[in-house]
């Protein structure tokens, strides 16, 4: 690997060979304090890395690698507002939204901090104005339709689901997909007079978002509503486009242009969720993230949560050929977390080009997947325990619930703790015979019950799911994603891979009409044949 010094690459290969031979269980035998040594506490969060192949020696290797590539300097560049997104010549300063004082780090452009402060102030003013408007309505708002796709929706949905009160009467419906089935389902549950519409798009030119807003307008006016756009609030970095679309200027809430889509949950993009959970809890969410940023900036790498996790991600991806990583949230309120992290990590680091434009010489983003426990135990866990692929897993647990069903929560936690223990321990013939000593098992049945264990996992334990702990958790994943990108020498802040499909969709759409003219096309024969089939069945 050219981006990793050859001597260091060889030492990491040797470390992986030794780890595969020794295993994780033996490390616990050799070190009675391993669980304590490789666990890190941050405020209300506790991270246990001890069930992975982590070791003092491995962290030393990655610390050495970090020094060679100037990792500390790249941390500073991120917070200074350097053009870390080199291909688009942009900084990535979403962290300013959670701390405009920037942890004391001087910005290259001192006007950016003012933009962040102004953005937060405007968001608060807009929030208070909209809340006042809602309170003055003759018919109370019962439903909010949040229209946005990707980063304009995923984080806000996670925030709403994680922090809403059980007795909250307002519902938020998230519309991202252009599929009319989703929109029709939402509209069937709403009434125009009690519905608020919030359209979210950084450019306010996203085709799916604008089409969905127009369709909601047709429903609104077709069901007795008047002046639809007076009931629409636009959240965007491009106020001019929102104005041209017809949204009143007083109904437009802006955020800085330097806020990237998948990093926009900290901005006015989360307006709809803030209207439900309250502005105070939204500021607590920002404060939790700011505290994690402080940890990332100032903690030595061997105890730096995001760097340690990113180092293990890089190690498993490149030296254990782990092509995916599984994430399991043992809390129903975090049911959208995996979707959020899929975009954050794979859109950021699913790259085949280094920062200088040359081909990467290592594996970058693994596939991120997972689900909610205990549901997934009855589907994908068979593969985790006995499958032929090594899949590092993460378990996210919440110690204290916000309900009174204590027996349910105890059983949930028992499962969430037992699964990583089982992934580590495995099961041999002696274990099977002890457990099934009253059964007359065939040799075939015994062999089917054997699994090796030694499957790595990390456990993240939250004391409780609060706005602050959720903010810290998401900031941890952001900085982890950035750290992995630095280790792979890639730009984590562009997303060129999504552009081609969008362009081709615009070219293809007119061809789906039965009256379309048969003009020469550059599409492949398979796609042209599929177009014919769609038209014939339509």
The per-residue pLDDT for range 455-486, each reduced to its tens digit, is 999 999 999 999 999 999 999 999 999 999 99
Clarify whether 347 is annotated catalytic. yes
With cut-offs at 50, 70 and 90, classify the pLDDT of residue 520.
Answer: low
Mean pLDDT for the stretch of residues 61-88: 95
Q: Cβ distance 321 to 364 under 8 Å?
A: no
Provide φ and ψ at 188, rounded to 5°: -65, -20
Catalytic residue selected from 77, 208, 347, 478: 347
Query: For 403-430, how does the pLDDT look when each residue is reduced to its tens digit (9 = 90+)?
Result: 999 999 999 999 999 999 999 999 989 8
Query: For 313-331, how does the pLDDT look when each residue is reduced to its tens digit (9 = 90+)?
Result: 999 999 999 999 999 999 9
- Mean per-residue pLDDT over the chain, rounded: 94
- pLDDT score recorded for residue 502: 84
pLDDT exceeds 90 at position 227:
no
Q: Which pair of structure tokens corresponds to residue 74?
A: 């790249």
pLDDT exceeds 80 at position 28:
yes
Q: Cβ distance 110 to 117 under 8 Å?
A: no
Residue 419's nearest CA partner among 456, 387, 449 is 456
pLDDT exceeds 80 at position 391:
yes
Query: For 170-203, how does the pLDDT look when each residue is reduced to its tens digit (9 = 90+)?
Result: 999 999 999 999 999 999 999 999 999 999 999 9
- pLDDT score recorded for residue 518: 67
Q: Cβ distance 152 to 202 under 8 Å?
A: yes
3-state secondary structure of 237: coil
Provide φ and ψ at 136, rounded to 5°: -95, -5
Q: Which pair of structure tokens corresponds to residue 140?
A: 């109370």
User: Who's near 452: CB < 8 A, 6+ residues apart?
Assistant: 426
Query: For 366-379, how does the pLDDT look when each residue is reduced to its tens digit (9 = 90+)?
Result: 999 999 999 999 99
- pLDDT score recorded for residue 167: 86
Of 32-41, 146-155, 395-404, 506-515, the poorest mean pLDDT is in 506-515
Bridge partners, residue 462, by sequence: 45, 398
Length reported for the chain: 538
Cα four-point dihedral sign 406, 410, 415, 416: positive
Catalytic residue selected from 60, 72, 502, 507: 502
pLDDT exceeds 60 at position 21:
yes
With cut-offs at 50, 70 and 90, classify the pLDDT of residue 538.
Answer: confident
Catalytic residue selected from 21, 30, 132, 378: 378
Clarify whether 502 is annotated catalytic. yes
pLDDT exceeds 90 at position 231:
no
Q: What is the DSSP letter of 353?
A: B
C-alpha 287, offset from chain centre: 19
H or E stretch at 467: helix 467-488
Clarify whether 193 is annotated catalytic. no
User: How many helices and strands, by DSSP H and E, does the chain display?
Assistant: 22, 11
Mean pLDDT for the stretch of residues 240-268: 94
């Amino acid at each position: 690997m050219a981006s990793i010094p050859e001597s260091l690459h060889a030492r990491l290969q040797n470390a992986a060979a030794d780890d595969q031979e020794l295993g994780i269980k033996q490390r616990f035998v050799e070190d009675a304090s391993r669980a304590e040594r490789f666990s890190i506490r941050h405020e209300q969060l506790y991270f246990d890395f001890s069930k992975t192949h982590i070791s003092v020696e491995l962290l030393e290797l990655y610390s050495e690698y970090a020094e060679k590539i100037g990792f500390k300097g790249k941390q500073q560049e991120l917070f200074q507002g350097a053009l870390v997104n080199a291909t688009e010549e942009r900084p990535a300063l979403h962290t300013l939204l959670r701390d405009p004082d920037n942890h004391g780090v001087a910005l290259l452009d001192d006007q950016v901090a003012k933009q962040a402060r102004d953005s937060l102030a405007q968001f608060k003013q807009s929030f208070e104005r909209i809340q006042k408007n809602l309170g003055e309505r003759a018919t109370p708002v019962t439903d909010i339709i949040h229209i946005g796709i990707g980063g304009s929706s995923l984080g806000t949905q996670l925030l709403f689901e994680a922090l809403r009160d059980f007795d909250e009467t307002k519902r938020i419906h998230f519309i991202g997909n252009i599929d009319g089935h989703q929109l029709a389902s939402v509209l069937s549950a709403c009434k125009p007079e009690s519905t608020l519409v919030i359209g979210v798009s950084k450019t306010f030119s996203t085709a799916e978002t604008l089409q969905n807003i127009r369709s909601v307008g047709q429903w609104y006016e077709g069901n007795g509503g008047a002046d639809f756009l007076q009931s629409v609030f636009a959240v965007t970095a491009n106020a001019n486009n929102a104005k041209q679309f017809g949204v009143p200027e007083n109904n437009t809430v802006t955020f800085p242009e330097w806020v990237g889509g998948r990093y926009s949950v900290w901005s006015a993009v989360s307006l709809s969720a803030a209207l439900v959970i309250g502005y105070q809890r939204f500021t607590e969410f920002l404060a939790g993230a700011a505290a994690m940023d402080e940890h990332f900036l100032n903690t030595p790498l061997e105890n730096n949560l995001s760097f340690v996790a990113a180092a293990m991600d890089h190690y498993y991806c490149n030296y254990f050929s782990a092509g995916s990583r599984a994430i399991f949230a043992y809390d129903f309120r975090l049911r959208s977390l995996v979707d959020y992290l899929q975009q954050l990590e794979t859109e950021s680091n699913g790259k085949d080009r280094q920062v200088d434009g040359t081909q990467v010489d290592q594996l970058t983003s693994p596939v991120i997947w997972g689900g909610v426990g205990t549901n997934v135990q009855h589907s994908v866990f068979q593969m985790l325990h006995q499958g032929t692929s090594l899949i590092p897993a993460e378990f996210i647990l919440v110690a204290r619930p916000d309900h009174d069903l204590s027996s349910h929560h105890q059983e949930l936690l028992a499962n969430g703790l037992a699964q990583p223990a089982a992934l580590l321990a495995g099961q041999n013939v002696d274990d099977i015979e002890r457990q099934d000593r009253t059964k007359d098992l065939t040799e075939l049945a015994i062999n089917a019950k054997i699994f090796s264990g030694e499957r790595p996992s990390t456990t993240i334990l939250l004391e409780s799911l609060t706005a602050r702990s959720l903010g810290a958790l998401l900031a941890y994943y952001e900085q982890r994603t950035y750290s992995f990108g630095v280790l792979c020498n890639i730009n984590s802040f562009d997303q060129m891979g999504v552009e081609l499909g969008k362009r081709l969709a615009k070219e293809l759409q007119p061809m789906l009409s039965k009256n379309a003219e048969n003009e020469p096309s550059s599409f492949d024969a398979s796609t042209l044949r599929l177009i014919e089939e769609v038209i014939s069945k339509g």
